Every structure is written in structure tokens, then in C-alpha cells.
Chains A and B, each alone.
Chain A
Amino acid sequence: MIRDTMRMVNLGLKSLMLHKLRSSLTTAGILFGVASVIAMLAVGEGASAETLKQYREMGVTNVLIRSKKPEETQQSSTTSTMSVLGYGLFYQEADRIQNLLPTATVVRVREFQRGIIRGENWSSTLIVGTEVDFLPVTNMKVVEGRWLTELDQQRQTNVCVLGASLAKQLFPLENPLGHTILVGIEDRFEVVGVLQYQGRAASPNGTTLDECAFIPLASSRRRFGDTVRNPSTNRYENVEVHEIKVKLPTMDEVVGAAAVLDYMLKPAHGNKKDVELTVPLELLRKAEETQRMFNLVLAVIASISLLVGGIGIMNVMLATVTERTREIGIRRALGAKKKHIVQQFLVEAGVLSALGGIVGVGLGMVVPLAIEKFFKQNTDILPIHVLLAFSISAAVGVVFGLYPAWRAANMDPVEALRHE
């Protein structure tokens, strides 16, 4: 069986070698079809993977409410540089949210920029004042020491937990636990824990969570207050809470909760437009929707290019069958049944497209690498795509080889033998 198949494939190759140029051109049709399918899918996958990952990391059961600096009118910006700009969320709003959504976990976050000094090492980074539930809501873990506790909040203690990169930067050689760091000019904080490396953004300004220092929200309010000088505008801004993260028990409740929150925030913030509601789940779904559409478009383009390749194969196979009418007659006279003739030409068409498929897979895997290298664009080759492209190409060969093979098999042997 296997030997017979090998023989058929061998025979197919020999017959294809009779017309090297014609065969290679036909193969090229499939080759470029397969290669472009794989390359396009890899680029599409790479582009969307980053976005999807980002949204997933924001937490699909979370609703995020961020304080946003309202757009300033010309007038207000010229009034006085010394006046304090107050906007954003308030501490009490978290309690109201908790009352409205009793099953939700609500976490407040304050963020401000400060310099941190530890011996000779220094870093200007984001200080995050937050609460105990921050860890489960953001899906982060402590690798050393402990996280902030309720007691820390109540006592407003000067303790902090460091992000992985910050810990490395401030304590390149020693274990940071138990050591004291200087935050700002005069506030000393004891390091009680180090977080696991995350590699994702903490806030829109691009600082990663790994570079942040986390302190109790209460301590932050007590030591640093709510008014911060914005270094870019040189203006004082009063923001109580930069972000409230609301984690819901299940994904089903997310959309409803988002609507409730939107309604709740309207009276206080609707006019000032100083808060922004983000629903990662919706963003994720939208991105996935876009991705699906994109994939569909790719699939259509891919099928068209493979269809064109298939037509090429059919064309060549029809020509081959006509050219080799006599051979078909000889084989029939020597005892070949119709099925043998069908097999022979199907194998030939299959070999033609499989060759194109194999080379196409190779090319299709090289192109994304080149794109990654020269255009700095993420690509992602999924094995399933490669398999898909290859099997479609092989199927194309068989499907488009079917009619020519059928025509070959149904020739009258007498006529075929007489054919010049």
C-alpha cells in the first residue's frame, strides 16, 4: 500500500518533470497563496495579541474609573498659576460604590511622582497609595515579605511594598526586606514586601507596575496630602483618588455594573467630565470582534489566492491530460482501470499543490520574521494556521485535480490510443 503510494508519487514527480517550467509556475501559484495566508495571519495575530493581552491584564471582571484632568479653557489656564485645580474622584465615592454594588471589591488608588533614595541608589518613580484588595483585583502576587494590611491602613504606618524592577534598582545586592527608603524629602518607609515581576503598565503615563512603590492609602494621604504640583504645567492639582478599581464576582455582572456606575457618577462628574469609565471586558470584546473581522477578511483573501492557485492547477492538469491522452490509452490497454487513471492524475495534482504548500509554508514562516526584524512589528505564527494553510493547499490540489482526472479516466481507450 505504502509502496504503491510511493510509486504513484514518484510517477507523479516524473511526469511533472516533463514540464519543469510549467509545473514550477503552477506550484508558485499555490506557494504564494499559502505563504501569504500564513504571513498575513501571523501579522494579524501578532498585532492583536498585544492589545488583547493588555485588556486581559486590566482584568475582564473589572470596571476602572479614573480621574481625568478636565480640558482647560483658555481663560482658566491664564487666571493664575498659583490657584489649585481640583478635579476627579473623591474618597467617599468608593463607599457609595460599595453600597451600590455590595458583591463588588472596591479599591482606591492614588498616584504621584516622587524621588526615592536608598543609599547611593536613586529613582524618581510613581508612588501608589492603595488598599489591601489591590492585590487580588490586579491579580498580582508578593514574592518576598508581605503585602499591605488593614492594620497598616488604620495606623497609617510608613511601610511600602516594592515592584520587582524598583527593588532591583534600589537594592541591587541585598534583600530589601526590613530596610528603609527615603521617599520625597523627609518621609522614611520600611520595605515589607517585594512583588512578582509583571511587565505591564500601571498608569497611562507608561510607568510599569514593576517600577512602582506601594504604600497604604491612609499613609499616603497623611504624609503627602491630596495636592500635588504637576511638573509639566507647574500648577497645583488637587485629586483625592486617581482611580477606583471595581472588581465584580463574575463577567456577567460587568456590563450592568458599568451602567450603574456611569449613572451614579453623572451628577458629580457628568458636567466636568473629570472621570473616565473603562470596561476592559468591553474593550476586549471589541478587540476580539475586530480580530474576528480581520481574520474573516484574511480568510477571504486567502481563499481567493488559493482559488486562483487551484484554477492554475486545473488548467495545467487539463492540458496535461490532453497531452497525455495517448499515455492514458496505453495504460488502459495494459489493464489500468478508471480508478487507476483517476488516482494517477489526482496524485499528480496533489503533488503539484503539496510541493507548493511545503515551500509556501517555509516562505510563509520566513516572511513574518523579516517583518519583525525590519518593521518592528510583532508577529505570531500559530501552528494551527500553518497546518490550515497547508491542508487547504493540498485539498485545493485534489479538488481542482478531480475534474481533469475524471476526464482522463473516462476517455474511450480506443480513441485515446489513436490520439497523436
Chain B
Amino acid sequence: MQTTSERAVIAEFVDVHRHYVMGKNVVRALNGVSVQVKKGDYLSIMGRSGSGKSTMLNILGGLDRPTTGQYRVGGRDVSQLSDDDLSDVRGREIGFIFQSFNLIPQLSVLENLEVPLFYQGRVGAESRAKAEYLAERVGLGGRLEHRPMELSGGQQQRVAIARALMNDPLFLLADEATGNLDSNTEKEILDLFDDLRADGVTIVIVTHNPKVAERSDHTLWLKDGQVEKLVDNRLVDGRLVDNRLVDNRGGAATNGGHA
């Protein structure tokens, strides 16, 4: 039995709308989404293209702001923060992992790992020790002086995961983290996610790959900018369990189920 209710809410959407004005039309990319991510969650977000996945990812990552509604990180509403403060939220609370790894090519692995701390003014002996530890942790010890180009795709993604952990974020936010990898490497990365998860790291992944999604605890399905359903993958055969989840999450987790 889980003790979900006792775990802290670290990221929360409260009736989030995100509308874009395109000429005369208003595109409602997100149309009233409410969801909670609690400490230790392993959540995947799925949906067809145009469902609002990317918009949700951008807001979760602090790269975009809701048009209306609240996005809370660690209990603090960040939807109205200044650009600088939002940058700090990204730098301190969120660990990004991208589909195309997004390492900076001219920097060594060590330097890439230090980038997030550099912007917090925390580069030094400590950051180096931490980089060494995390490189070891993702299985890349001894490659700190390599350039990204000298590594395979899977290795690059491991570096990216280590980089995402450098700032001890509230949660990891992965965008199609295995999209550019072959199936063997994909499995290795997903295994690594499992390991991290076991260590208590909170993970949110956005994907369109059902195989990836089913490795997570829960899958949030988006459709037309709204939550369609929330699936608990740990239950038999991925059976639809909307109601139970709503119960587990204190009733406020989703507005899904009636899309």
C-alpha cells in the first residue's frame, strides 16, 4: 500500500489554460488542466500531437507561463514570476532531459555537468566532486574530459541525465528522452530511470511511445488541451482506473474522464 497522501506535492497545475493568439484565431493549447506531481512519482504524459503535450512540458519546465491558472513548484506559484526568477526556478528546481541530449558540443563532459551550477554561482571543487559522483552513478566514470561528439547517443543521454541531477532538482523532466536511441539503449536508459526512481527521484516524462509510458507508474493522457484520463500502469494490463486514482490523489488530481 502506498501512502500517497503523505507525500509532498512538488509540482501542481491548478486549472491551467494556455492560449496562443495566431492572427485572428486563438489556439487553446491547454484548456483547464489540473494535475499534481508528488514526491517520488514516476509520471508519463502521453497524447497525440496537438494534444497539448509540448505546451504542458514547457510550462512544467518553467519555459512558458500559463495564460490563466496557477503552476506551483514546491508550493510556490511561479506563473507570474519575472524572467530572472523563472530562470532561477529552472536552474534550482527542475532537471531537464531532452530528446536530442542537448549537450553543449564545445564543452567537455565535466564542463557540461557544471553548467547548471555555474548559473547558480556554485562552480568549484564541490561541483567537480559532484560531477564525478554523478558520472559514476550513470555509468560514465572516467569520461569527464571527453567531448560529447566522442560519446555514443546512449552515453550522451547519460551525461544529460547526470547534468539534470547536478542541481538536486525537485523533479526530472524528460522530453522524449529515448526518442533518438535504439531499443537496447532505450532499455538501458529506462533502467536507469528505474534506479533513480528507487532512490526517490521524482520523474516526469513526456512521450508518445507507449513502451516508454508503461514503464512509469502513472500515465496522464492529454487530448485537445485537457486531461483525458490518468492510468495506473502498475495495475493489471493497464486497466483504466480513473476513479481510483482520483481517490488516491485526494480528488483534485484531474478533471479528466469527461473529455
Contact = CB atoms under 8 A, between A and B. Distances in A.
Given A331-B115, A413-B63, A417-B98, A336 B87 contact: yes
Interface residues of A, number: 25
Contacts of B163: 334
Interface string A325-349: 0110111111111111000000000
Contact of A326 (B87, B102, B119, B120): B102
Contacts of A330: 98, 102, 104
Interface stretch (A13-21, A33-41, A48-56): A13-21
B68 to A, nearest CB: 19
The size class of the interface chain B forms with chain A is 20 to 34
Contacts of A15: 106
Contacts of B104: 327, 330-331
A17 B163 CA distance: 24
A4 B121 contact: yes
Nearest to A10: B111
A14 B106 contact: yes
A14 B107 contact: yes
A347 to B, nearest CB: 13
A412 B92 CA distance: 20
B106 A335 contact: no
B83 A338 contact: yes
Contacts of A332: 63, 87, 90
Contacts of B91: 334-336
Of A17, A333, A340, which is in contact with the most chain B CB atoms at under 10 Å from its CB?
A333
A256 B106 CA distance: 73
A3 B116 CA distance: 16
Contact of A338 (B61, B84, B115, B123): B84
A323 to B, nearest CB: 11
A333 B61 contact: yes
A411 to B, nearest CB: 11
A190 B21 CA distance: 107
Contacts of B84: 337-339
Interface in B176-234: none
A84 interface: no
Contacts of A417: 63, 98, 102
Contacts of A18: 105-106
Contacts of A286: none
A334 B120 CA distance: 10
Interface in A122-164: none
Nearest to B108: A14
A414 interface: yes
A7 interface: yes
Given A330-B104, A417-B102, A337 B83 contact: yes
A337 B106 contact: no
B99 to A, nearest CB: 10
B116 A334 contact: yes
B167 interface: yes
A5 to B, nearest CB: 12
B167 A335 contact: yes
B255 to A, nearest CB: 25
Given A15-B106, A414-B64, A333 B118 contact: no
B96 interface: yes
A413 B83 CA distance: 11
A331 B92 CA distance: 13
B168 interface: no
Nearest to A18: B106
Contacts of A413: 63
A325 B26 CA distance: 27
Interface in B82-114: 83-84, 87-88, 90-92, 96, 98, 102, 104-107
Interface in B113-144: 115-116, 118-121, 123
Contact of A334 (B64, B106, B119): B119
A195 B168 CA distance: 85
Interface string A38-66: 00000000000000000000000000000
Contacts of B105: 18
A334 B107 contact: no
Contacts of B88: 335, 337
B64 A335 contact: no
B169 to A, nearest CB: 10
A413 B88 CA distance: 14
B155 interface: no
A17 B104 CA distance: 14
Which 9 A-B pairs give the minimum distances between C-beta atoms? A335-B91, A335-B119, A337-B87, A334-B116, A14-B106, A330-B102, A413-B63, A333-B96, A337-B84
Given A337-B88, A413-B63, A414-B58, 11 more contacts: A327-B104, A330-B98, A331-B119, A333-B98, A334-B119, A335-B116, A338-B83, A338-B84, A414-B63, A414-B64, A417-B102
14 contacts: A7-B123, A11-B106, A15-B106, A18-B106, A330-B102, A331-B115, A333-B61, A333-B98, A333-B102, A334-B163, A337-B119, A338-B87, A414-B63, A417-B98
